[in-house]
Amino acid sequence: MTTPPIPRLRAERAERLRAARHRRAIGYWWVLIAWLLSLWIGTSVVPHDWLHAPALFGHLASVIVGLGAAVLLEMSGLLWMLRRTSLDDMRRTEPPVTALAWLGIAGLLVTGAFLQPDLSQPLTAIKMIAVLVAAMNGVAMTRLTDELDRLPGAVRFSSLPARLKLWCVWSAVVSQTAWWTAVLIGMLNTASR
């Protein structure tokens, strides 16, 4: 078996990168459209009273699932940073936990639409932006995941280029900040009703 010539490998890699960029662009658009649709429904549709309790329960369940997944993903990355696990361990954790994070985001958008968010309240607007940031960061992290997938499974975090280390830390900080902002504001809004 012969190895493919270098130009063909470069062309295949360029095509994979183009396809990944295309998937991310579609992901960004889907997130934005779903977020706007959730806001539109939440501000223009008055749901029946009986729907409030199930929507609130679904919203809280979505917070638990999404935040729990985000914490688990970032904890997995932190353990890799601290040399407690390997990159391969983190890779095994990432796909199912990422699916749970997206389930949490989707649940927040669907159920939040039926909780009639009051966007005239600054805290509610900040919460909605935090949910958008968490979702957009999730899409952006697919590029980081692609970069990490190209590395050997035994590579240590400390041996990564500075750019890649900063990218990992930045993505985790943005994720946790967005999720916890949404959770704390949601808690304050619920407590004040």
Q: Compute the C-alpha angle 118/99/47, nearest 5°.
A: 30
- pLDDT level of residue 17 (50, 70, 90 thresholds): confident
Q: What's the pLDDT tens digit per position in 121-167?
A: 999 999 999 999 999 999 999 999 999 998 998 999 999 999 999 99
Q: What's the pLDDT tens digit per position in 32-82?
A: 999 999 999 999 988 899 998 999 999 999 999 999 999 999 999 999 999
Q: Compute the C-alpha angle 96/176/134, nearest 5°.
A: 70
Distance CA 30, CA 40 (A): 15
- Cβ pair 100, 165 in contact under 8 A: no
Q: Report residue 25 as tokens.
A: 């662009």
Model confidence, pTM = 0.89
Report which of residues 1 and 128 the model is more confident about: 128
